[in-house]
Every structure is written in structure tokens, then in C-alpha cells.
């Protein structure tokens, strides 16, 4: 099994329950969702199509994870949309190294692989998450570009386990601009529903991942590019 690897880098998890943990990120190429504020546009947008994507098999990926991060660092498989791929060979290889494997997904396809943690981020564009993925999510990350995104995201979560954490994250351009309409909507929602938590993408403050030598995101504006329509 070979995977199209857009980029891979060792950094720390910048959001969610595992905020601040050392993590090796594997970002796979390809996503059909086309979110207009996507911050990983290099994985799908025609204006940021990379010159090439590295096809790596499970042994190669396990080897770079072992060489480029210490024991104990979790591995985060993200994208793009990684759920499009059969992740079982990859999760098996990484578990053989003794690593925990986390997944970040919008949940639009059946999940194949043994994951230790599933972060579901339903998107208001493209397809909603499948109920079978909602049912195994450990946490949910709703990106809030407009106040209405909060309820729209919550409406996709029928069947979410009671113990799953639900984060409301200001979309990065809104967070960067301190957009009070969005930030206050998140504050109000959390105050009204204590199950919700206000979140933030801390790694973007630190520029923790895009300064890594293996990351290509330094070529892509963080938080999308309104002039290009994403
Ligand atoms: S689902 Fe994620 S990777 Fe895909 S377009 Fe939306 S933000 Fe970008």
C-alpha cells in the first residue's frame, strides 16, 4: 500500500484535547471538500498544486517516523482527507513501532484502520460526515467562519458518543483578525451549552509546523487566501 504524502513534519499538536503534545504529522494529498477557507490548500487547490507528491509505502513511512521523532511522539494522520485511503496497513506499521496513531478527518467515507484517537471536523461544504464515523469520534472540531456554522456543525453530530469533546474553533482568518462577531458567537455558545469548548489553533501563533524543514506549508498562506477564493 502506497500513500500520497504531501508533507510530513515533526512538531506538536496545536489544538484539541492533545494540545501541546509532541506529534509527527503525515499529511496525505487529496480532498474533495473544497472549503473556501482551507488552510491546507496545497493538498487539493489547483493554484497550489505541488510539483510532485511523494508516494510512500508503510515501511518507508514507519522508517521516517522512527528516524525523525523520538519514542513517545504520537503520529497524526491528516490531510487533505486521509479517510479516503485504507489506513489499516499504516496504522499497523505505526503500532508495531509502539506509536499511538491519531486521525484528523471530515468523516466522509468509511474508516479503515485502527486509530487511537479520531478528531472529526465536519465541514459545511461538500459532504457531511457518515454516521459510522460520528459514532467513533473522540473529539469534534467545528470551524466557525460565520456564527451559523456552529449550529450547522452540531446538526451533523447525531450519534456522537457522550464523552466526545466538541470544540468550536474560529476559522483562522477570523481568529487572526479578532473578528468579534465570530469570537462572541463562540463565547455565547459555550456559555449556553457547557458541553462545548472554545478552541484555538495554537500552532499558528507559534508557526510551529510551517517552520519545520519538512513542511511545505510555508508556501501556502495560513488561513486561506480570499483573493483566490479559498
Ligand atoms: S476538509 Fe480540510 S483539507 Fe479538505 S478542503 Fe476542507 S479544510 Fe481543506
Cα–Cα dist 220/39, whole Å: 8
Helix-helix angle 88-96:58-68, to 10 degrees = 40
Cα–Cα dist 65/33, whole Å: 28
Whole-number pLDDT of residue 13: 97
List residues forming the annotated binding site for Mg(2+): 40
Q: What is the DSSP letter of 103?
A: E
Whole-number pLDDT of residue 217: 57
Whole-number pLDDT of residue 49: 83
* Atom nearest to 106 CA in ligand 1: 1
Mean pLDDT for the chain?
92
Domains of the chain, CATH where assigned = 2-225 (3.20.20.70)
Q: What is the model's pTM?
A: 0.93
Question: Which of 79, 84, 140, 225 for a ligand 1 pocket mutation test, highest count of atoms within 8 Å of Cβ?
Answer: 79
With 0-12 CB in 10 A as exposed, 13-18 as middle and 19+ as buried, what is 40?
A: buried
Is the minimum distance from the CB of 78 to ligand 1 under 6 angstroms?
no
Whole-number pLDDT of residue 230: 45
Cα–Cα dist 80/27, whole Å: 7
Mean of pLDDT values over 152-161: 98
Q: Whose CA is nearest to atom 7 of ligand 1?
A: 38
Cell of 96: 508495531
Cα–Cα dist 128/207, whole Å: 30
Residue 32 has pLDDT above 80, yes or no: yes
Cα–Cα dist 75/104, whole Å: 11
Mean of pLDDT values over 94-102: 98
Is the minimum distance from the CB of 119 to ligand 1 under 6 angstroms?
no
Is the minimum distance from the CB of 34 to ligand 1 under 6 angstroms?
yes
Amino acid at each position: 500500500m502506497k500513500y500520497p504524502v504531501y508533507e510530513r513534519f515533526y512538531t506538536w499538536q496545536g489544538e484539541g484535547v492533545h494540545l501541546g503534545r509532541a506529534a509527527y504529522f503525515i499529511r496525505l494529498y487529496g480532498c474533495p471538500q473544497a472549503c473556501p477557507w482551507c488552510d491546507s490548500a496545497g493538498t487539493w487547490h489547483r493554484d497550489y498544486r505541488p510539483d510532485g507528491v511523494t508516494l510512500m509505502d508503510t515501511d518507508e513511512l514507519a522508517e521516517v517516523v522512527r528516524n525523525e521523532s523520538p519514542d513517545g511522539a504520537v503520529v497524526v494522520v491528516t490531510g487533505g482527507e486521509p479517510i479516503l485511503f485504507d489506513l489499516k496497513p499504516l496504522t499497523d506499521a505505526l503500532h508495531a513501532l509502539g506509536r499511538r496513531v491519531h486521525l484528523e478527518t471530515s468523516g466522509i467515507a468509511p474508516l479503515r484502520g485502527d486509530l487511537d484517537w479520531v478528531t472529526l471536523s465536519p465541514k459545511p461544504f461538500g459532504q457531511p460526515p457518515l454516521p459510522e464515523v460520528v459514532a467513533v469520534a473522540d473529539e469534534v472540531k467545528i470551524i466557525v467562519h460565520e456564527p451559523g456554522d456552529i449550529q450547522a456543525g452540531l446538526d451533523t453530530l447525531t450519534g456522537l458518543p457522550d464523552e466526545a469533546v466538541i470544540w468550536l474553533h474560529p476559522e483562522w482568518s477570523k481568529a487572526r483578525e479578532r473578528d468579534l462577531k465570530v469570537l462572541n458567537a463562540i463565547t455565547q455558545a459555550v456559555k449556553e451549552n457547557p458541553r462545548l469548548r472554545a478552541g484555538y489553533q495554537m500552532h499558528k501563533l507559534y508557526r510551529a509546523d510551517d517552520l519545520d524543514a519538512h513542511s511545505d506549508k510555508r508556501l501556502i498562506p495560513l488561513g486561506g487566501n480570499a483573493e483566490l477564493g479559498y
